[in-house]
Amino acid sequence: MIAAVVLAAGTSSRLGTPKQLLAYRGRPLLAAAVENLLRSPVDQVAVVLGHMAEEAAGALEGLPVKVVYNRAYASGQASSLKAGLAALDGTVEGVLFVLGDQPLVKPGTISLLIEKFRAAGGIVAPFYEGKRGNPVLFGRQFFTVIGSLEGDTGAREIIGKHPESLHRVDVSDPGVLFDIDTPEDYRRLLEMAGDQE
């Protein structure tokens, strides 16, 4: 079983407004990212919320996902990775960590990552034009390592320590590199989507 953990607990400090709730194609950005994920072959989806959790949970109403509340979200991304992992079914073989502000990743890209994982195991990451992007898929052997992370550390640290386990998937999907951190990023997203908001 392959599960996905969507990381959507942060405070969006650089943006100045909760990115999870930004309008995108007529719905909240987080809902768009999750709906995209649900069109891929993942078996289970958990969404980790923290800052403005109630409002973000409202944006997910009706979607077949498990909502996980991370009360320690202010301590950094590691707490969200751990909260998401702890909420998953015990039969999970691999976990795809997805950023909640990446609505442009194609479901087909996620399919390619899962395909590669089933063949090779370890850690699987997408690369676009030579740059590593997200989401990243980790095999069960890394769950203990993820569970021991502290502070604002995430996938990058684990990949850095286990480069021999990384399997690269070259994709033609620029969405793996695009997330929303600044008002300019949001403007670019709306331009790409053809939105007028």
Cα(19)–Cα(29) distance, integer angstroms: 7
pLDDT 10s digits, 54-97: 888 998 999 999 999 998 887 878 888 999 999 998 899 999 99
Domains of the chain listed by start with CATH number: 2-190 (3.90.550.10)
> What phi, psi does 10 have (nearest 5°)?
-70, 170
pLDDT of residue 16: 63
The per-residue b/e assignment along 94-124, b for 16 or more CB within 10 angstroms, e otherwise, is bbbbbbbbbbbbbeebbebbbebbeeebbbb
Answering whether pTM is above 0.75, one says yes
pLDDT of residue 30: 94
| Residue numbers of the chain with a pLDDT score lower than 50 | 195-197
For residues 58 and 36, give the distance between their C-alpha atoms in angstroms, rounded to a whole number: 18
pLDDT the model gives residue 53: 84
Give the closest residue to 54 by CA, choosing from 99, 20, 6, 25: 20
